[in-house]
Amino acid sequence: MPKRLSITFWATTFVIVVCASLVAIDGWRSWNARVQRLVDMERVTSNLARAMAQQADDTIKAADTSLTDIVERLETDGYGDAAVARLHRLMVEQAVNLPQLSGLFAYDETGRWLVNSRPEAQQPLLNNADREYFIYHQTHAGRGPHIGVPVRSRSTGQWIIPVSRRLNHADGRFGGVALATIDVDYFHRFYQSFDIGRHGAVALFSNDGVMLLRRPFNPDAVGASVRKSPVYLHYLAHNSGSDFFRSGQDGQLRFNSYLPLQHYPLFVTAALSKDEMLAEWRRDTWLHTLGVLLLALLLGLFGKRLVDQIRLRVRAEAELLQTRDALERLNSTLERQAMQDGLTGLANRRQLDVTLGNEFSRAMRHGEPLAFVMIDVDYFKQYNDRYGHGAGDDCLRALSTLIRTLTPKRPGDVTARYGGEELAVLLPHTDVDGAHAVAERIRAAIEALAMPHSGSPLGVVTVSAGVATIVPQRGVHLEGMLVAAADKALYAAKSAGRNRVCVAAEAALHS
């Protein structure tokens, strides 16, 4: 008869197996945590790069917009004293309104200062014909913007990034340069807001492989070539991406994310030190390893208690999950009720306002028409007075059901109760003819119901509707203009005798 193994053996075997499993699981968890940490590093650096690229693009775009205006005025109005004086006032105002600008300047074909954004009218007798940007435009006929290497300003002594455009005479000959200087400190302050650790780095490069700016800032590195650096070679090959690179500046191994600017021949990099990013993971791994060893030592003493605690915890988590699911269902029901009109079943004013804001923004981005139809029941007060408010509610429900069946069911289309007896229909991607057709179809269908209304001269329930359509433009239109225009058109329909559809005049959309 085989000898039965003792309970000690089984207990020892159990402890060894459990401890080995704990160590293996902890090792697997630690490795996955390391992988996740690197994934988080990629996400963080990518987000930093996107923020830097957007900030640089917006900053240069604002400066370039001012340059375009200066070029147009000089080439149109000429270099006369009156024209230059007007331009000087404009440049002073623009320099005040754009905090990133160190200054705005214009030079003639010899490099002599014509006018700048200094408040004093008298301009200094300086010549910038030797500057890189001046020579560039002198030798290149292109009219696009040129972004030069950062230099120290001759007027302020500060580090600046020059953004310039060529001026032409009427016959196409070189007529000078319009220049906007961006204060490097503006970028410094923005880059300083990022938490990149002690050994992280962020930088701005030209597509030609020239360093424009870097944090940490090193004046000797400004204008240096990075054409042989790994990050630049990867940028040439992939345009955007992320990878580990060892810096040629300080030898640090960093995880770099690089991204081009949308409108200008520049790209940015955001890099975090690999050692710094994994330092927390290393501490966490050591703590977990020590915890596992301690747990293995105490397993024999506290095993049963641990199992009981796990059982209680699972039960508590299950109860919490059930409670959470019940709350989510309740929240979903409350949210649906909060966005729906209780009487008509249509969307309520809150949902209409939210959808109108979203669709207005989408129409503005894509340059598409957005239509709004305001509908009002004719002589509804008289209907309530004659038939009672209960019958008035039934009337509104019947009309709402009919309108809902007659309106499109596309994403973004909303039929809502605007308030009282006023109903509204929001129609994205719809021009004025399409919106008028929908409104007329609704009006005719309601009239065809022949719902008796002795308080109306027509003898039946009818509606009036106002239609407004807009292709919103940023800085010109607000969403409230569309609603106001439709409301004016509705008022015009009522003033014209009711039971009709009126379209808002174009002027109503600009008031």
Looking at beta carbons, which pairs linking 122-125 to residues 24 or more positions away fall under 8 Å? 124/155
In the set 75, 93, 276, 421, the catalytic residue is 421
* Total Cβ atoms within 10 A of residue 284: 16
Which tokens go with 428?
A: 């994205």
Q: How far apart are the first and last CA of the chain?
A: 104
Closest CA to 468 of 458, 459, 477, 456: 477
204 in Cβ contact with 268 (< 8 Å): yes
Closest CA to 173 of 138, 208, 201: 138
Examine the residue annotation and report whether 421 is marked as an active-site residue of this protein. Answer: yes
CA distance 479 to 360: 6
The residues, any chain, with a CB within 8 Å of residue 210's CB and separated by 6 or more, are 149, 223, 224, 225, 226
248 in Cβ contact with 226 (< 8 Å): yes
CB neighbour burial string for 219-255, b if at least 16 within 10 angstroms, e if fewer: eebbebebeebebbebbeeeeebbeebebeeeebebb
503 in Cβ contact with 470 (< 8 Å): no
CA distance 177 to 200: 38
Q: Where are the alpha helices (DSSP H) in 339-478?
A: 349-366, 380-387, 389-406, 432-449
HEC string of 411-444 equals CCCEEEEEECCEEEEEEECCCHHHHHHHHHHHHH
CA distance 222 to 203: 11
How far from 460 is each of 383, 384, 450, 456, 492, CA to CA, in Å? 10, 14, 5, 7, 21
**Annotated active-site positions, please?**
421
